[in-house]
Amino acid sequence: MPVPVLILGILALLVLIVGIVTSRRSGEAVVQERLGRYAEAGYDLGKADEKKADEEKRSALTEGIDRALKGRGFADSMATQLARADLKLTVAEYLALHVIAVVGGVAIAYVLFGGIPLPIVAGVIAFFVPRIYVSIRKGRRLNQFNDQLGDAINQMSNGLRAGYSVMQAMESVASELPPPICSEFHRVVQEMQLGLSMEQALANMLRRIDSDDLDLMITAINVQREVGGNLADILDVISYTIRERVRIKGEVRVLTSQGRISGYIVSFLPFGLGLLLMVLNREYIMQLFSHVCGWIMIAVAVILIGSGAFAIRKITDIEV
């Protein structure tokens, strides 16, 4: 069997497995589970028959793993990260993706390069692929939320001046602004309609969206509810501050773009050239792996590349 056909077959099998795992859960069940994850302890968000139907849709293995991991610190941390990335996966399904990624990475590396060292390295790298994807998705969603937060606060302020309550102002944000901010405010309104206090619902949103700007807005709302004051004027000041911060962050990002691209090139170009040489001239590159000096050279190169990438990232990462 030709190597490209075998690789495509492995990738198709992995995609099929991931599709089967993620498609077993309905959208309504996901909404109820995500609301229940951040609601008060013991609060029932669904009927007993709906919960039973949801459990029947999920596989016994996934359900058993979720029950075994429930309440553990690392499982709660994974669930929080998945919620922040807006991925409709349970912890068990997320762990299954790690296993699938490792098996797929080892199989593909073994088919392409053979031997033992490179497939092991590929498996280790593939283990971190789901985490990297979740981190990228979480960061992208957080940036989108922060970019929209100024407009949302401004709309809330205008709604309060027009006579809306705070909850009605949040409903207007949920119905008129684009995602992801509309879905988060809609979830807050849903939790309040289900009986949670505004402080708890806002705290749950802050747990899902780890944003300093959102924390500032929630603190202002909570303080105003306790001591009083003109919330519309306070939100106007916060909206102006957030808009200026977003503008300055954009300018800093443009000015440091060349340095960040240099960091990416320094980090990934050596590995890309190594893989290219592995495909074009395998005997030449395999000499590095046939002697102790070669392994020492590889280790030193990886350390130096990592140090350079870390230094460039620290230089270009400017806090605003």
Query: 171 and 239, same structural domain?
Result: yes
Q: Would you say residue 90 lies in a domain?
A: yes
Domain boundary among 112, 134, 156: 134
Query: 311 and 218, same structural domain?
Result: no
Query: 216 and 272, same structural domain?
Result: no
Closest CA to 81 of 147, 21, 133, 26: 133
Per-residue pLDDT of the chain (320 residues; tens, 9 = 90+): 455 556 656 666 666 666 665 555 544 445 445 555 545 443 333 333 334 434 444 555 556 566 656 656 677 788 888 888 888 777 778 888 888 888 888 888 777 776 677 788 888 888 888 888 888 888 888 888 988 898 899 999 999 998 888 888 999 998 888 888 988 899 899 888 888 888 898 988 888 888 888 898 899 888 888 887 788 888 888 888 888 888 888 888 888 888 888 888 888 888 888 888 877 887 888 788 788 888 888 889 889 988 888 888 888 887 76
Gap between the terminal Cα atoms of the chain:
55
Query: 175 and 148, same structural domain?
Result: yes
Query: 19 and 126, same structural domain?
Result: yes
Query: 58 and 19, same structural domain?
Result: yes
- In this structure, how many other beta carbons lie within 10 angstroms of the beta carbon of residue 244? 12
Q: Which two tokens stand for residue 189?
A: 């309104």
Are residues 40 and 204 in contact, defined by beta-carbon separation less than 8 angstroms?
no
Q: What CATH number does the domain containing 214 carry?
A: 1.20.81
How many domains is the chain built from?
A: 3
Query: 148 and 121, same structural domain?
Result: no
Domain boundary among 72, 107, 134: 134
Query: 112 and 48, same structural domain?
Result: yes
Polymer length in residues for the chain: 320
| CA separation for the pair 262, 315 (Å, rounded) | 12
Q: Would you say residue 249 lies in a domain?
A: no
- In this structure, how many other beta carbons lie within 10 angstroms of the beta carbon of residue 128? 13
Q: Which two tokens stand for residue 31?
A: 């909404």
Angle, helices 117-127/91-113, rounded to nearest 10 degrees: 150
| CA separation for the pair 207, 203 (Å, rounded) | 6
**In which domain, by residue range, is 298 found?**
256-316
Helices (H) and strands (E) in the chain, counts: 16, 0
Domain boundary among 78, 107, 134: 134
| CA separation for the pair 15, 296 (Å, rounded) | 37
Residue with tokens 């190594």: 274
CA distances from 169 to 51, 144, 159, 281 (A): 32, 20, 5, 64
Query: 9 and 96, same structural domain?
Result: yes
* pLDDT the model gives residue 61: 52
Q: Which two tokens stand for residue 292?
A: 């102790």
Q: Would you say residue 251 lies in a domain?
A: no
Closest CA to 102 of 131, 76, 66: 131
